[in-house]
Each structure stands twice: as C-alpha cells, then as structure tokens.
Amino acid sequence: MTQYFEIEQRDGAARIGKFLLSSELRTPCILNTAELGKVENLGPIVDAGSFWGVKSNAELEARIKQIREKTGNGTLIILPHQAYPPAIPAESLGKAQRFTVTNSENVEDTGPTGSLLRVGGKPKKSDLYIMEGAGTLENNAQKFLETLIELKNQIPPDTALYTPNLALPENIAMLVYLGIDLLDDTRAEIAAYSDIYLTAAGSLYLDSMTEFPCRCRVCAKSTPAELRKLPKIERAKFLSAHNRDALEAELSLVRERIRAGALREYVEGQCRVRPWLTALLRLGDFEYSYLEERVPTFRQNQLLADTSEALSRIEVARFARRIQERYTPPELEILMLFPCSARKPYSTSQSHQKFIQALGKYRKFVHEVILTSPLGIVPRELELTYPASHYDTAVTGHWDKEEKAWVSGCLEAYLSRHKYKAVVAHVEGAYREICERAASKIGIEIIYTSTGNLVSMEALSNLKNTVESICASESFSKKSLNAEEDRMNFLRAIAEYQFGKDATLLFSEEAGKLVVKGRFPKYQLFVGKKQLATLVPQYGTLALSLEGAELMLRSEKYLVKIDDFLPRGSILAPGVIQADLGIRPNDEVIVLGKKALCVGRAAMSGEEMVKSNRGVAVDVRHVKKL
C-alpha cells in the first residue's frame, strides 16, 4: 500500500494514475533515464544508483540521507540496488553478492521510495517497483508475461510498476495494456545514436529514408538527406529529439484510449508491428484470471471485433463462460436457433422482426437463441446485456475455421447441458454448418427451415409451419410462457448472469407476489409496493434497490463490508474491511457496515478494494442508515 500513488482510471490492467510528489507525476509516463541519477535536477524521481562496490551499509544510509536532504519528501528515491538479468538463477546471485553489501532493506527512509523487484524475491515496502532486467526480455513474450504476472501478484495493486530499457513507440500500447505504469527513453536514446528513426509502426534506418513520416517540431525542419550530411553527434541530437517526441505522442494516444475504454481495440491493431507483441496479446488472453479480474463487466463504448484475437478477449470469453455456468433457460421444449443481425439488440432488426411475426402465437412455445461471432450463442433474454448489444464486427459473408469452431463449440456445450424435445434452426450458410457440426458431435437432430433467403415468404412460411407441426404433435406437452412469465424470465436470466445462481434470492416470493412493471426495455421488479430492481437498458444489467439488496444479503456474494461509518458519497478503499473476490469493476455491489446498508457500482475489483490504500472502491447510489 502507498500514500503517494493513486489510480484514477482503469481499462482492464491498464490504468491512469498519479504520483503525489513535489511536482505531480501522471502515469503512464516516460522517464528520462539520463536525468534519473542527477540529484541536482530535483526531478520527481531520483535514482540512488547501484551499490556495487559500496563498502558498508553506513555508506548506503549516508547516500539516501544526502539525497533526501537535497530533495525532500516530495521526491521518490529509487533505493540503491544491484541489477542482474532474470535468467541468472537465484543460487548464483548469492555467490555474487558475497562481495557487496546486500542488506539495503535496513536503510530507513520515510519518504516515497522505489525498489528493484526480482521474481521470487521478497518485495520491500515501496511506492514504485522496478522489474529487474526488463529489457533483456524483449522478444521473449512468454517469459516476459510470466515475469510480469508473478511480479504483479507480489506487489500491492495500488503501487506502480516500472519496466526500464524496454519502451519503443511500437510497444508502448501493449506494455501499458498489460499493466505497466512507467517506462523510460533508454531504447529511444540508443536508437538515436545508431541512426535509427522510431515510429509507432516500427523502426526505420536513416540511410534508407527519403522523407520523414512525422511532422513533429524537429522533423518539420529537415529532410533525411539533409540530416545524413550532419556530423554523427548532430544527427543523434536530432533523432533523439524525434524519438522522444514519438514516445510521448504514442503514450498520449494510449492514455486517451484508456480514458475512452478502447485500448484493447487499438492494441489488436498495434500488435501487428512485431511478432512478439502479437504473441503477448494472445498469451495474455490465455492468462484469463489475471486480466479478467481487472476488466470491467461493461464499457460505455462499442466493442469492435475486427481481428481473430477478438474471439479470445476477456469480455467475449467471460460472456461465453457465464452462459454455460450461470444461465438457466426457461422450461420450454422447443429450441429456436436464429442468426445474428447487424442491428442490436437483435429483436429490433428487420430480419428478427420478421422471424418473430412468422412465429406468431407459437412464439410462446419456443426458446430463442442467437448464433453469432464472436460471442458464440446469445439467449434472447440476454440480448441487451453487455456485450451482446454492444459489439460490431466486419461482415463479409465468410467465416474462418476459428470462428466456426468457437461458435459450434459454444452451441455444443449448451446443447449438451440443456435438453430439448426439438431443435429448430432458421439459418443458412456458415450458421447451418455450425449447427450441423454441433449436432453431429452430440448426436441430436436439428430441423432446418430454410435453404436460401431467410426472410423470403417461403422461408418464413416454412418456419411457421414447422413450429406449428411440432406443437401439434402428441409428444408435445404445450409448455409455454405467458407475457408476465416471459418478462419475469427475462429479468431472472439477467440476474443469474449478473449475480450467479444466488440471484434466486431476488425472485423468492416469501415476501409477497413478484410483479414486473414497465414497458420493455425499462422493466422494474416489484414485490407488493416495494421495488427490488430496475433493468438498465444501456448495459442490460439490474440496478438493485435497498430492498433488493436486503434479499441478496444472505448469499454474501457481491458484498463489500465497510468500517463503522455512514457513507456520504463514494466509498474509498481504506474504508473497506472485506470484499467478495468475485467483484469486478462496474459490478453492482451491496455495501454493509454497522451503520449503513448501501448499493452502488464497484470502481475496482474486490481484491483491489481490500489491498489498496487509495482510490474510490464503490460509487454509492443509495444509503440506508441502520
């Protein structure tokens, strides 16, 4: 925990924060490596340097004291350190350190500090942690990611992580996306003295350039030909200025993407610059627990599924998992499979309106599920729920093998878990291929109602006649949902997706008869005259009332326990005593203390609430004094 670093905005593992030093330092940021070791510059961060060759611990203490006297407590001091490549085994380090002082932990310092951190090492209490040997892990995506995740799990969530000697304009977006807060200009300076011109699209050698693709303050004044005529030291100064500007420009764009909640979309395109960046993105998605804990349950912006990596992004994987693990379909005997539509929610599209009209009075007998890439399957009850109504993808009419395998896998898992007497598919093309693949693997029969244009009179008539004939068969029990049951089932499905199986507590009729009021999509759940929850159409989630929160308390899920105080506005992390580890940013949560019961939205994960010393934990909406 730290009193000097505070996170202000999050976008998954990426975050915007600030160091509360003599001069406020916003993160993510680029540090000037050459200036870090100069105490006389009185910058916000000073590197106390290596203690190779230091003869006594007293000498270390004197160095720290001298720096602190010159800079004051408003400067963060990176404590004296020894740096080794991560590849060197721990047992070898012990042998090397016998010749130097190693117990810098004894150095006392009351101001903000930074310390070098090695995998397997015991982290000192610091405000900033430096990944040892970060620069040696470039192009080794698996090792870099393993090291990063292990270090992030070792340190408090409200402290900053610095990866020295690694940043280039091409990789800044990926590094920040994975959770890095501070970078430096070491690589940019080295490139400048090697006649290398940096861009977000990769590196260019000055000898091969005809024009500068950048219009920064230095590039606008010269051409590559003119620059090549200058002495090497002058060229290096020029390239150094440009490379630094390129770093800062890219980082500014990344910060804007974080503020917009759209960094992932940018990273999916930017990672194509280098193979190791693409590998980092793909391997990062495999580390589901690390990213999922930090990714919000909904975003305000649209989810763009423009690349193959969209199939494995956290929001997509989480949606598919919750469908399989939390969702309970209505007790109907006919499953109706439809293709997705460009317009969201699907039921407002012209094609789905025609499907619904064709089903007519028989619609109450069928359960509708939509097939789509990248989400897999979307039950009709969850078509409003993020990201089902918030994504867009390139429509070409062509599905690649990965898309077909993913969607058919989701359908197969669903049909294996939930049994129907009849499965009808009003689909064509790749959708039909997906259905056939799933049916073949689990050994069921699917009835197809179209072989061409799905909205043609012939196809729609066949759809109606097929469902009508199934309903007329002797084996059909005519189980159906009336309008009130359908609305109740709609809210129940959303509640289960949102809170898990314990959502049944919200729909218990012990306190009285449940009623759904309002017109779609502004449904409200009541028991008697007490409102329990309201559907938020924008995200397809439920907002609890205090009465609804009281019913959900018995589950102790999505529960935040606070200290003995009455909240007035947002609840800060220091006030949180305990929190459900299943809480994710933007989750609806219940807050309970000795003096208050509250409902609101989580601003951080449950684990971060407990381990952080700064920042807003919950944005409170309603408070009841106990």
CATH number of the domain residue 156 falls in: 3.20.20.105
pLDDT tens by residue, 276-286: 999 999 999 99
- What pLDDT score does 100 carry? 36
pLDDT tens by residue, 535-565: 999 999 999 999 999 999 999 999 999 999 9
- What pLDDT score does 90 carry? 62
Nearest to 334 by CA among 469, 221, 196, 178: 469
Q: What CATH number should be reported for the domain holding residue 447?
A: 3.40.50.10630
DSSP H or E run through 131: strand 128-131
Q: Which residue has the tokens 């693997």?
A: 441
CA–CA distance, 497 with 518 (Å, rounded to integer): 21
Residue 491: inside a domain: no
> What are the angstrom distances between the C-alpha of 383 and each of 140, 375, 386, 388, 523?
40, 11, 8, 5, 14
CA–CA distance, 492 with 231 (Å, rounded to integer): 73
CA–CA distance, 614 with 407 (Å, rounded to integer): 42
Tell which phi-psi region holds residue 49, choosing left (phi > 0), alpha (psi between -120 and 50) or beta.
left
pLDDT tens by residue, 41-50: 667 898 888 7
Average pLDDT over residues 209-227: 91
CA–CA distance, 392 with 8 (Å, rounded to integer): 29
pLDDT at 99 over 60: no
> What are the angstrom distances between the C-alpha of 24 and each of 27, 42, 74, 162, 163?
10, 13, 9, 17, 20
Which of the listed residues 184, 209, 239 is the one where a domain comes to its end? Answer: 184
- What pLDDT score does 458 carry? 95
Residue 275: inside a domain: no
Residue 100: inside a domain: yes
Q: Is 612 helix (H, G, I), strand (E, B) or coil?
A: coil
Q: Are residues 462 and 506 in the same domain?
A: no
To the nearest 10 degrees (0 to 180), the angle between helices 314-325 and 401-417 is 20
CA–CA distance, 414 with 142 (Å, rounded to integer): 33
Residue 269: inside a domain: no
pLDDT at 104 over 70: no
Rounded to whole angstroms, the maximal C-alpha distance in the chain is: 93
Q: Is 87 helix (H, G, I), strand (E, B) or coil?
A: coil
pLDDT at 352 over 90: yes
Q: Are residues 593 and 524 in the same domain?
A: yes
Q: Are residues 312 and 424 in the same domain?
A: yes
For 339, the token pair is: 């293709």
Which of the listed residues 129, 160, 184 is the one where a domain comes to its end? Answer: 184
* Of the candidate ranges 20-34, 36-50, 253-267, the one whose mean pLDDT is the lowest: 36-50
- What pLDDT score does 1 carry? 58
Cis peptide bond N-terminal to 224, omega within 30? no
Q: Are residues 1 and 134 in the same domain?
A: yes
Average pLDDT over residues 383-394: 95
Phi, psi of 7 (to 5 degrees): -90, 130
Length of the chain: 626
pLDDT at 586 over 90: yes
Q: Are residues 151 and 204 in the same domain?
A: no
**Above pLDDT 70, what percent of the chain?**
94
3-state secondary structure 396-459: CCCCCHHHHHHHHHHHHHHHHHCCCCEEEECCCCHHHHHHHHHHHHHCCCEEECCCCCCCCHHH
91: confidence class by pLDDT, cuts 50, 70, 90 = low
- What pLDDT score does 512 carry? 79
Q: Are residues 253 and 394 in the same domain?
A: no
- What pLDDT score does 105 carry? 46
- What pLDDT score does 172 carry? 98
101: confidence class by pLDDT, cuts 50, 70, 90 = very low
Estimate to the nearest angstrom the gap between the alpha carbon of 41 and the chain centroid.
38
Q: Are residues 344 and 457 in the same domain?
A: yes
Average pLDDT over residues 110-117: 86
CA–CA distance, 74 with 164 (Å, rounded to integer): 22
- What pLDDT score does 95 carry? 45
Q: Are residues 157 and 22 in the same domain?
A: yes
CA–CA distance, 584 with 291 (Å, rounded to integer): 11
Q: Are residues 36 and 177 in the same domain?
A: yes
Residue 288: inside a domain: no
pLDDT at 83 over 80: no
Residue 296: inside a domain: no
pLDDT at 30 over 70: yes
24: confidence class by pLDDT, cuts 50, 70, 90 = confident
Q: Are residues 515 and 422 in the same domain?
A: no
Nearest to 587 by CA among 259, 322, 304, 253: 322
CA–CA distance, 170 with 280 (Å, rounded to integer): 13
- Work out the mean pLDDT of the chain and round it to a whole number: 91
Residue 584: inside a domain: yes
Domains contained in the chain, number: 4
pLDDT tens by residue, 402-461: 999 999 999 999 999 999 999 999 999 999 999 999 999 999 999 999 888 999 999 999
DSSP string, 244-302: HHHHHHHHHHHHHHHHHT-HHHHHHHHGGGSHHHHHHHHHHHH-HHHHHTTS-S--SSP
Nearest to 583 by CA among 555, 605, 612: 605
User: Domain range holding 23?
Assistant: 1-184
User: What are the residues whose beta carbons fall under 8 Å from the beta carbon of 553, sequence distance 6 or more?
Assistant: 559, 590, 592
Q: Are residues 176 and 199 in the same domain?
A: no
Asked if 196 and 239 touch (Cβ cutoff 8 Å), the reply is yes
> What are the angstrom distances between the C-alpha of 465 and each of 62, 223, 358, 577?
89, 73, 9, 60
Residue 10: inside a domain: yes
Q: Are residues 159 and 196 in the same domain?
A: no
Q: Is 81 helix (H, G, I), strand (E, B) or coil?
A: strand
Q: What CATH number should be reported for the domain holding residue 614?
A: 2.30.130.10
53: confidence class by pLDDT, cuts 50, 70, 90 = low
